[in-house]
């Protein structure tokens, strides 16, 4: 059980989870571009090369497909690799490896082999980065059977969710908001604790409207709901997502606003909306509204703030559902 805690940001909390899991399990290895000597592009793996050596913290060439392909082979061999991709916009060349191999090993071998692989990917807007550095295309991975998708929203749950992801027997896409990396600090216990995958958390209870968000958008939602009797749900895991928590809230409020920074069309909000419509429609008092990024290529830094869901857009959506 955890004994002590420190105020950490998300970078430090993830680093702590990696260090503790590598100390606990000799089969956990890290690989990616600059993860060793430089400690990763965001310094998440800083200090781990010195602690565990170059056999377990491996700098790779600039080749995302190769990084993920090698990690899949390691996982099939029995190791527990954690691959870091520097930005979400760089992952696309590795999607074939994930979709065609990592996601299918359990099914392909009739359960004789699994793929205990974590792919950590910084995602999203908020740091005014150049092209391909601010993508939020999580729905691509949510559409791949056999893959879990996790998105922490705070240092505490980042550590607990990452430990659960490392110990999961199947591939996990672990998405880390670049905007949140150093934005907030909170108490994070030293020592082992886990947060189950597939469970949401109720951040704030309310009676009039359910707000569903994840990652960095959770914090914008919390700022926007002031003055509303809103129930705020942090989904934390997108696949599998916590239907029970959502249905329970919908039955209470009858109104739903879903917030994500990915483009609206075919974003994961559409899947949540469809699920509510199929299984809880009779509890709805108003149409479900999604507040999302626009259906455009992620803009460069000067236009980034116009693209992201704002507190004003979220409040307008809540005012709209409250008319019913």
- Residues labelled as active-site residues: 133
Q: How far apart are the first and last CA of the chain?
A: 48
Q: Nearest-CA neighbor of 141 among 241, 224, 69, 208?
A: 241
Cis amide prior to 14 (ω within 30 degrees): no
Which residues 6+ apart lie within 8 Å of 81 measured at CB? 28, 29, 30, 31, 70, 71, 74, 75, 117, 118
Can you tell me whether residue 267 is helix, strand or coil? coil
CA distance 62 to 3: 40
39 secondary structure, DSSP code: -
Q: What angle do CA 197, 163, 55 make, to 5 degrees?
A: 135
187 strand-pairing partners: 7
């Amino acid at each position: 059980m955890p004994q002590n805690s420190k105020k950490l940001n998300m970078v430090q909390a993830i680093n702590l989870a990696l260090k503790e899991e590598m100390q606990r399990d000799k089969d956990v290895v890290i690989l990616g571009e600059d993860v060793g000597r430089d400690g990763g592009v965001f310094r998440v793996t800083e200090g781990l090369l010195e602690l565990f050596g170059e056999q377990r913290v491996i700098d790779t060439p600039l080749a995302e497909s190769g990084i993920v392909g090698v990690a899949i082979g390691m996982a099939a061999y029995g190791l527990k690799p954690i691959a870091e991709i520097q930005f979400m916009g760089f992952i696309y060349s590795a999607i074939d490896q994930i979709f065609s191999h990592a996601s299918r090993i359990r099914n392909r071998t009739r359960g004789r082999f699994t793929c205990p692989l974590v792919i950590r990917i910084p995602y999203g807007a908020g740091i005014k980065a150049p092209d391909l550095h601010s993508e939020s295309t999580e729905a691509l991975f949510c559409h791949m059977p056999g893959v879990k998708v996790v998105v922490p929203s705070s240092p505490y749950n980042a550590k607990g969710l990452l430990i659960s992801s490392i110990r999961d027997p199947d591939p996990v896409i672990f998405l880390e908001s670049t905007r949140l990396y150093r934005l907030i600090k909170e108490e994070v216990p030293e020592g082992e604790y886990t947060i189950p995958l597939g469970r949401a958390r109720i951040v704030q209870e309310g009676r009039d409207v359910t707000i569903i968000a994840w990652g960095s958008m959770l914090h914008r939602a919390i700022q926007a709901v002031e003055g509303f009797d809103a129930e705020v749900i942090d989904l934390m895991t997108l696949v599998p997502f916590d239907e029970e928590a959502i249905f329970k809230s919908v039955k209470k409020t009858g109104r739903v606003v879903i917030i994500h920074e990915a483009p609206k069309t075919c974003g994961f909000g559409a899947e949540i909306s469809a699920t509510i419509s199929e299984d809880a429609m009779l509890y709805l008092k108003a149409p479900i509204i999604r507040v999302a990024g626009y259906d455009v290529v992620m803009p460069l830094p000067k236009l980034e703030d116009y693209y992201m869901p704002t507190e004003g857009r979220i409040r307008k959506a809540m005012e709209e559902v409250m008319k019913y």
